[in-house]
A and B are shown apart, each in its own frame.
Chain A
Amino acid sequence: MKTLTLQQASYTLAFSLLSVSGALQAGSFVFAGEGNEGRITHSSNYTGTGGTTTIKVCIRPTSVNTTNLEQSVKNVIATWNEQKPTSSNLLNNISAGSVDVESVINHELGHCLGLAHVNLATESGLADPDRNYTKTTDGADNVYNLGIGADSVRGSTDDNRGDDGNLHWYRTSNNNPFSLASIVDASTYTLDINNLPQGHSSVANADRSVSTLFATPNTEAVMQQGQLFGEAQRTLGHDDVATIKFAQSGLDTTAGTADDYTINLTYGGISSAADCDINVGFDNTRTGFAVCQVGGAFLQSPHLSITSADIYLNDGYNWLYNTSTPCSRSFTATANQWKMLSLPCQVGISTSATVQDQLGDDLNIADYDTTWVLYSYNPTTNAYDKLALGDALQEGKGYWFITTSMGITVDIDGQYNTNLDVPIEGAPVTGKWNMIGSPFRLSIPWSTATVVKPDGGLLDLAASDPNVGGTNACAQTPVHASCAMADTAFKYDGSNYVTLNPGGGNLDIFDAAWVFAGQENLALRLPMSSAEITTP
C-alpha cells in the first residue's frame, strides 16, 4: 500500500479516490447541517417506494458476550417497530454503578435508523449544560447563540437562539416535543421557526428539564444525548416517534401517499451474513463506550438513506443485561367472579402480547371460552368483543375476565411500564364510555389523572369536567359542550362499582375502570408515581 505522510501528501487523482471520513455534524436527522438543514435521512433499504422496509439487525459473531446482548437487541427492535410514545420513561431502577445496555442500544439504534441528537450535544463543542439547547447550526456568525430565556431552562420555547439555524423538526401546532400529532408529516411538523406558536421564540427539544415545563416530568427523548449511570430509558418519547414517523411519510413528506413506508426491524441472530443491515457488538478498540457509525447515499435531494450502520460497545463497563422479563406481576383469580382487568406491564416488546401467551400459560388454552374468557369494550359500537386467543392485549385498556377455576394465579410478563397516553373515544351531546386500565404496578390516585387534548394541552379533572350551572358538564343531558372527560370513574370490586373522583379513590394494580368522554380525539394520562419509577 502506498503511504503518504502529512508532509508528503500530494493531491493526485488517485489520492482523491481514497476513502475520507469525518464525524459530520448531525441534525435531528443524521447528515443535516448548515446549508443542508432540510435533509431527511431514511433508514436502510428505503428506496422511495412505499410499503414495508425490512431492516435486519445482527449481533457480530466476533463480539464477546453475544448471548447476553440478545434479549436487549430483540427488545430494542420491538421498541422501534412498535413506535409507542411514552412519558416518564426515565427509570432509576438499576444500581448506580451499572449501565443499562438496552437503553444505550436503544439510543444508538435510533442513530442507525437516521435520527440524530435532538440537542446540540457534544458535536457542538459546547460544554454541559449548554449542549442541551435544541439542535441547530451555529448560523452565519459561526457562534452558537445561547439565550436561556425567562424560564432558565435550556432547550425550551423561550430560548433566544439568534441566527442559529434550526435543525429540529417540531410540531407546528404547539411546539411540544412531549406530544404527537395524529398525522405526522410536513402538514403538522416543520423546521421553519416562523411557524412557531405565538409567544414562542425557539424550538423546544425533549430534554428532561424541558419536560417539567410541559407537565410531563421525568421524560426525555431517547435521541437526547446523555446517559446517566443507574438509569434506564428503554422506551421511546413522543419526539422520537414523531421523527421516525416523519421520515416514514416518504419523499413527498405527506402521510397517506404511495411512497409512505413502515420500518420492520428483524432480528438476524448472531451472524455476519451479508444481508445484516445493522451490526451490533463489543469492540473496545473502536469505542470508549458506545458508538453508531453510519454511511449514507442520496435518494433525491433532500432525501438520503442509510447504506451502512454499525454499533460498537465497550465491554469494560458494568453493563446491565436485560436477559429476563423485567416486569412480572400476578393476581389470583376468584372463581366465577367477573374481574375488570388491566396489564401492569408493557407487553408486546420483550414478551408476546397475545391472550394465548399472556394468560394461556396459566389457564388451559383448550378451555378458552369454556372455563375462562376475556372481553373488551368497543366504544365505537357500544358493544363487548370477545377476544380471540391470538388477539393482542394492550396496556392502558380494560378487560372483563372470568374463570370457573379455583385458585388460579395469572401472571403478566412484560417490559417496564411507563406513562402512556391512553386514547379515549368521546362524542359531543351523547358522550361515550371507555374501559381504561391502569398500566402501573403501584397505586395511583385518580385525582392525579389528566386529559390530553387533541392539541397536546392538558386538562386536570376539574377543567375536563367543569361545573356548569350547578352540575358537572359531563353529567348533563345532553352532554354540555365543555365536557372533555368526566371527573368520575368507576371500577368494579367483584360485586359493586366503586366510584373514583377528584376527592378520592385509587387505581390499583390490575384495576380497570369506566370513563366517560364528551369530546373526540382525547387521551387519558395517568402520572407514574415516583415510587414506580424507582421500583425494580
Chain B
Amino acid sequence: MSEKALPDSIRHFSLSLGLILSLLPAFLYALGQGAPAALITYTYQHDLLPKSNSTPVLTIFSDGSMRAVFPASMKHAGTHQGQLAADKLQTLRALLSKPTMKTYNAAAIADEIATRKALQEQITGQETLFAVLDSTTTIIEIPTQSGSGNEALPGNTGNTSIKKIIQKDLPVMAQKNPDIVALQDARELQKLLQNILDTTPWTNEGGQQ
C-alpha cells in the first residue's frame, strides 16, 4: 500500500512517532552500583499539554521500589517514592514476559488496522467513521540489558538496551481491535501502570518539577 493511500491518521502517526521519539525525556534509571535496576518506565504525552513537565513519569525497579515524578499541575506534584505490592509486581512481571512486549511494533499495528479498515469498507461499502480528538500517546520503556531483571524477555538478544512501546490512543485502539494480541497486552500493561500511579500511597521525596 502506498503511503498516499493510507488514511491521514496512519501517515501522520508515523510522523508523530518520529517526533515523539526525538522528544522523549531522557529517563534516568537508577543503575548505579548497588541500586536496583529499572524494570519499567511509564509516561504519556497528550495533545493538549506541553511536551515537557506536564505528565507523570513512573519508574518501577526490579525490587518493587518505585519512583514517580508528577508535574506541578497534578495533585501529587513533586517526586515521590513508593513500594509496589508483591502481587502487583508479580502481575507486572507476568505481563512483561508476554512475547508481544519484545516484538511490539506500533507501525505494523497501524498498517494492519489500516488494511482491515480498507477491507471492511470494501465489503460493507461503507466507510468506518470514528475519530479521537485530543489523543494520548502511551510511552512505556522496558530496559532489557543485563541487570534490568528483564533479561528473560522472549527474543532478548542483549543487543537492545531499552524496548519502547509507543502507542497513540492505546485504550480505544485496544477496545476497537480486540483480536490484536499486542494491543491487548499493551493495554493491560498500561492499565496496571496507570492504576499504580493512581492508587499508590506515595511518599514525597521533596521538590517539584
**Interchain CA distance A127-B3 in the complex, whole Å:** 21
Q: Kindly state whether residue B153 has any CB partner on chain A within 8 Å.
A: no
Using A1-B178, A6-B112 as known contacts, say yes or no to A125 and B47 having CB atoms under 8 A apart. Answer: no
Using A6-B112, A142-B4, A288-B136 as known contacts, say yes or no to A125 and B15 having CB atoms under 8 A apart. Answer: yes
**Interchain CA distance A284-B190 in the complex, whole Å:** 11
> Interface 1/0s, chain A 14-32, versus B by CB < 8 A?
0111111111111000110
Q: Kindly state whether residue B89 has any CB partner on chain A within 8 Å.
A: no
Q: Kindly state whether residue B173 has any CB partner on chain A within 8 Å.
A: yes
B2 to nearest A CB, angstroms?
10
Interface size class of A (residues with CB under 8 A): 35 or more
Using A104-B48, A137-B8 as known contacts, say yes or no to A16 and B116 having CB atoms under 8 A apart. Answer: yes
A130 to nearest B CB, angstroms?
11
Interface positions of B from 180 to 196, Cβ below 8 Å from A? 180-182, 184, 190-191, 194-195
Q: Kindly state whether residue B11 has any CB partner on chain A within 8 Å.
A: yes
Q: Kindly state whether residue B172 has any CB partner on chain A within 8 Å.
A: yes
**Interchain CA distance A288-B168 in the complex, whole Å:** 11
Query: Is the CB–CB distance between A289 and B48 below 8 Å?
Result: yes
Nearest residue in A to B139 (C-beta to C-beta)? A288
* Surface stretch bound by A, among B71-79, B143-151, B157-165: B71-79
Q: Kindly state whether residue B197 has any CB partner on chain A within 8 Å.
A: yes
Query: Is the CB–CB distance between A15 and B75 below 8 Å?
Result: no
B33 to nearest A CB, angstroms?
34
> Interface 1/0s, chain B 41-58, versus A by CB < 8 A?
000111111010001100
Query: Is the CB–CB distance between A11 and B116 below 8 Å?
Result: yes
Using A21-B177, A98-B73, A293-B172 as known contacts, say yes or no to A116 and B133 having CB atoms under 8 A apart. Answer: yes
Q: Kindly state whether residue B87 has any CB partner on chain A within 8 Å.
A: no
**Cβ–Cβ < 8 Å partners of A182 in chain B:** none
**Cβ–Cβ < 8 Å partners of A17 in chain B:** 120, 123
**Interchain CA distance A225-B49 in the complex, whole Å:** 10
Query: Is the CB–CB distance between A285 and B131 below 8 Å?
Result: no
> Interface 1/0s, chain A 70-105, versus B by CB < 8 A?
000000000000000000000000001111000010
**Interchain CA distance A241-B92 in the complex, whole Å:** 48
**Cβ–Cβ < 8 Å partners of A5 in chain B:** 100, 180-182
**Interchain CA distance A122-B108 in the complex, whole Å:** 21
Query: Is the CB–CB distance between B74 and A6 below 8 Å?
Result: no
Query: Is the CB–CB distance between B132 and A293 below 8 Å?
Result: yes
**Interchain CA distance A24-B132 in the complex, whole Å:** 7
Nearest residue in A to B126 (C-beta to C-beta)? A298
**Interchain CA distance A3-B178 in the complex, whole Å:** 8
**Cβ–Cβ < 8 Å partners of A30 in chain B:** 131, 133
Nearest residue in A to B120 (C-beta to C-beta)? A16
Interface centre among B131, B136, B169, B182 (most CB of A within 10 A): B131
Query: Is the CB–CB distance between B119 and A318 below 8 Å?
Result: no
Q: Which residues of A contact B (CB under 8 A)?
A: 1-6, 9, 11, 13, 15-26, 30-31, 33-34, 96-99, 104, 107-108, 111, 116-117, 121-128, 137-138, 142, 225-227, 229, 284-298, 304, 307, 316-318
30 contacts between A and B (CB under 8 A): A3-B179, A4-B179, A4-B181, A17-B123, A18-B116, A20-B113, A20-B128, A20-B177, A21-B173, A22-B10, A23-B132, A25-B9, A33-B7, A99-B73, A108-B134, A117-B133, A121-B47, A123-B8, A125-B13, A125-B19, A229-B73, A289-B49, A291-B136, A292-B133, A316-B56, A316-B70, A316-B75, A316-B76, A317-B74, A318-B74
